[in-house]
Copies of this chain bind each other. A is one copy, B any other.
Amino acid sequence: MSAPVKAGESKSQRLTKGGRKTRERIIEAAAELMFHHGAGGTSIPDIQAAAGVSASQIYHYFGDKQGLVLAVIDHQTDTRLAQQRPLLDSLDSIEALREWCDSAGNRQDARGCEGGCEIGSLASELADSDQSARTSLISAFDRWEDPIRSGLARMQARGELSERADTAALATALLAAIQGGMLLSQVRRSSTAYRQAVSAVIDHIESYLVR
């Protein structure tokens, strides 16, 4: 076994290939369990069983459960953003915004609107109880909001969106519509609420188009 990994270090960089694979397997198992049962509803023994590792391996790679929760937040953010590329890098037209939001609605339909948003669910659970998790969640939402904001800013720079449009505020409003819409859709088991929520905000963004 390699030397214990200290908190705060760039852990995955210092690991052997086998170590990185084990660490990844633990994170993926924990992410799946926390998606279905929450961080609080997922125990270290649950993760051991799902990943086929010992408790000491988990503590070796993550220090404690809180360290693992932070790794799960980063992992879910990386995964969700990667799944949404290249759409996410070209959100500089009304059509692209609609297509991107539709694809997330179709993804909800495909799983019967169960599960909600991987990041939003952890945010709701952990924002008040875990200060480190909240810091990671701020970064997760910022990383999600950035491509929306920069797409709108490019439209504005090209003169397609009015100078009156507050692109940062509109990006936040769209992210909020996505989050709130997903929650209502999860409760109602229908993507209609999500689609209506994002549609209202994109229609509003469209009202700033320079004709």
Contacts and interface: CB of A to CB of B under 8 A. Distances in A.
A contacts with B: majority SS: helix
Given A40-B38, A125-B38, A177 B175 contact: no
Interface stretch (A25-33, A52-60, A112-120): A112-120
Contacts of A177: 173, 176-177, 180, 197, 200-201
Nearest to A185: B176
B200 A170 contact: yes
A186 interface: yes
Nearest to A134: B187
A103 interface: no
A11 interface: no
Interface string A137-179: 1100100000000000000000000000010011011111111
Given A115-B128, A127-B183, A176-B194, 15 more contacts: A38-B40, A124-B183, A134-B187, A141-B187, A169-B199, A170-B196, A172-B193, A172-B197, A173-B181, A173-B196, A174-B200, A175-B180, A176-B181, A179-B179, A203-B204
Interface of A: 36-38, 40-41, 114-116, 120-121, 123-125, 127-129, 134, 137-138, 141, 166, 169-170, 172-181, 183-184, 186-189, 192-194, 196-197, 199-201, 203-204, 207
